[in-house]
Structure formats: structure tokens, C-alpha cells
């Protein structure tokens, strides 16, 4: 049984108030794979062009990321995105989007991926996400979907179609409001429940994340950082940590999802410390455990004396 990840593998060029990157490795699928492979093997579904470095693929293979589902289109170019972050690091302008191989991406699920128990659908066109679900012969134990306002703007019907098959939806607060049409996040989560996902995770960046399920709610903090160097991929890394903990423990209870959100938050707190996937490539198991302990210190309190 396995974790299958679907997501873009890309080149990014990033400008922040603190600096500017060259054309570096990015993409939702890349961040998810670098993050999740700290915890469990990953079976990756994606597409790249002939310009994508073989050594990057080899590095992932060495980390137990299976690439049989990654199509390499020799004569085409890899997806490229360039953006500039504002001072608050929450808002950004897209400078360049070259879809390239993503423009007509038809994902193919290899036979060896049919043991998929946990499915992480990274941010991509909802029709691509749905195609992967439809190719699986057995329903996974848990399907998690990450998406963004862009797809709500141009492919809302497709998004609603795929949401019917999704257990856990991840969006940010403004996207939850857009999708539900409700300003109150509590009511927004209730309305999203009705679209399919029984669990709704609302990402709030520096303010942490909320998990809603039935009448229950969990609030995870974000680690206050002196500097957020590059927020690119933070949400993807969060998703990777979340699904990896679930896949490792094979426990889809609300209580274990709380832990999974803390794992995701801890991993995301690393991702923003350097440009792109750099920090995720450096950290050790011991760094991760230290960071998790920081979250315990950050969030633990005792009301027995009240």
C-alpha cells in the first residue's frame, strides 16, 4: 500500500523584498515529494520537459520517490512560473506563467501505483486531479486535495466535480470564503462539507491553520519566524507533511489529523527559511524532531490552575 502524489514539477524564478532567485526547481509536486519522503516512500505523478535536470530526478529517486508516473517530454519545456512577493509576504504578483508541458498534461497512473492507499492531489487543474481519481481501481483510504483561487475563477464546475470524491480539502482563508460565498470561516467550512470534503483545512499563513470536521475544530499555530525568506511552496510543503504523517500512521481519525497538521506546519516553517526547496534538502530527522518540540512549547498550556 502506498502514498501517491500528483503535482507540478517546475522551474520558478522568485523575487522577494530580501532577494531574487535564479531559475530554480519548484512546483507543488516537487515540494510535496521533498517533504513527504522524510516520512514515507512516495509514488509521484507529474510531467516535465527535456530541460528538467536528470540529477534532480536522481536525487528524488534516492529519497524513495518513485518516478514511474512522471512523464518526460523530451522535446518540450518544463512549466515555468515567476513571481514577486510584496512586503507582507502574503500577497504576490505573477510575472510570468509558461504552462509548456502542463498545457495538455494527461496524467497516467502506472499499474504499480494501483496499491494507492493515500492520495495527495497537489494544486493543479481540477480535471487532471479528477482524471487520477478515475484511473484508480480501488478507492483510496484518504483523498486530500489542495487547490487555489485560480481554479475557482476559471474551472469552478470541474473543481466541484472533483470535490465530490475528496475527503480533505486544503485552501487558504480567502479561498474558503470565495468557494463558500460566506465570510465566516465556521460557516464556510460547513458549506464546503456539503460539496464533498468531510474535513476542511484552512491555511492562514503566518496565523497557522484550522481544521474543521463535523462540529469539531482544531487551531494550529504557525511558528513565529524572525524572517520569512521565501513563502513559495509553503502550502505544498504543509500538504506534504500532512499526508505523509497520515500515510505513515495509517490513521485517519480527527485526533491524528491534528498531529498531521502540526507536522505539516513544522515542515512549512523550514520551507520558508530559504529560496525554493533548498532548506528541505538540508534538514535531518533530528531537525524535524527539534522543530516539532518547538511547536509543543509554542502551543501547550495548562488550565488546571484556573
Residues binding a second copy (CB under 8 A):
87-88, 183-187, 204, 207-208, 210, 216-222, 224-227, 245, 249, 251, 255-256, 258-259, 261-263, 289, 292-293, 295-303, 305-306
Least separation in angstroms between CB 246 and a second copy: 11
Least separation in angstroms between CB 89 and a second copy: 9
Least separation in angstroms between CB 217 and a second copy: 5
Least separation in angstroms between CB 302 and a second copy: 6
- The full length of the chain comes to 306
Q: Which is nearer to a second copy, 67 or 271 (CB)?
A: 271
Q: Which is nearer to a second copy, 94 or 184 (CB)?
A: 184
Least separation in angstroms between CB 91 and a second copy: 14
Sign (positive/negative) of CA torsion 224, 228, 232, 237?
Answer: negative
**Per the structure block, which three cell numbers stand in for 25?**
526547481
Give the alpha-carbon dihedral of 156, 157, 159, 161, to 10 degrees: 160
Q: Which is nearer to a second copy, 114 or 174 (CB)?
A: 174
Helix or strand run (H / E) with residue 116: strand 116-121
**Per the structure block, which three cell numbers stand in for 21?**
532567485
Q: Which is nearer to a second copy, 62 or 306 (CB)?
A: 306
Distance CA 303, CA 37 (A): 37
Q: Which is nearer to a second copy, 255 or 282 (CB)?
A: 255
The stretches of the chain forming alpha helices (DSSP H) are: 28-36, 54-62, 126-135, 149-154, 156-163, 173-180, 185-195, 234-249, 254-271, 278-282, 285-299
Amino acid at each position: 500500500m502506498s502514498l501517491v502524489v500528483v503535482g507540478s514539477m517546475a522551474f520558478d524564478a522568485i523575487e522577494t523584498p530580501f532577494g531574487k532567485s535564479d531559475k530554480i526547481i519548484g512546483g507543488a509536486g516537487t515540494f510535496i515529494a521533498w517533504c513527504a519522503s522524510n516520512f514515507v516512500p512516495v509514488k509521484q505523478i507529474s510531467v516535465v520537459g527535456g530541460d528538467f535536470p536528470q540529477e534532480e530526478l536522481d536525487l528524488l529517486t534516492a529519497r524513495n520517490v518513485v518516478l514511474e508516473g512522471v512523464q518526460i517530454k523530451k522535446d518540450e519545456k518544463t512549466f515555468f512560473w515567476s513571481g514577486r512577493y510584496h512586503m507582507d509576504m502574503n500577497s504576490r504578483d505573477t510575472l510570468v506563467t509558461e504552462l509548456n508541458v502542463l498545457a495538455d498534461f494527461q496524467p497516467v497512473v502506472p499499474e504499480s501505483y494501483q496499491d494507492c492507499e493515500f492520495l495527495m492531489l497537489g494544486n493543479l487543474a481540477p480535471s487532471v486531479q479528477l482524471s487520477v481519481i478515475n484511473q484508480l481501481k480501488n478507492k483510496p483510504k484518504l483523498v486530500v486535495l489542495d487547490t487555489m483561487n485560480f481554479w475557482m475563477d476559471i474551472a469552478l464546475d470541474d473543481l466541484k466535480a472533483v470535490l465530490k470524491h475528496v475527503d480533505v480539502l486544503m485552501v487558504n482563508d480567502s479561498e474558503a470564503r470565495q468557494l463558500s460565498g460566506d465570510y465566516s470561516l465556521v460557516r464556510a467550512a460547513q458549506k464546503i462539507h456539503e460539496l464533498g470534503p468531510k474535513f476542511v483545512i484552512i491555511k492562514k499563513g503566518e496565523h497557522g491553520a484550522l481544521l474543521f470536521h463535523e462540529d469539531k475544530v482544531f487551531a494550529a499555530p504557525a511558528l513565529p519566524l524572525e524572517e520569512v525568506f521565501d513563502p513559495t511552496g509553503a502550502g505544498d510543503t504543509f500538504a506534504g507533511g500532512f499526508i505523509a504523517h497520515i500515510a505513515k500512521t495509517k490513521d485517519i481519525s480527527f485526533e491524528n489529523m491534528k498531529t498531521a497538521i502540526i507536522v505539516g506546519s513544522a515542515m512549512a516553517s523550514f520551507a520558508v527559511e530559504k529560496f525554493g526547496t533548498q532548506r528541505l534538502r538540508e534538514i535531518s530527522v533530528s531537525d524535524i524532531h527539534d522543530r516539532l518540540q518547538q511547536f509543543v512549547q509554542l502551543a501547550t498550556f495548562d488550565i488546571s490552575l484556573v
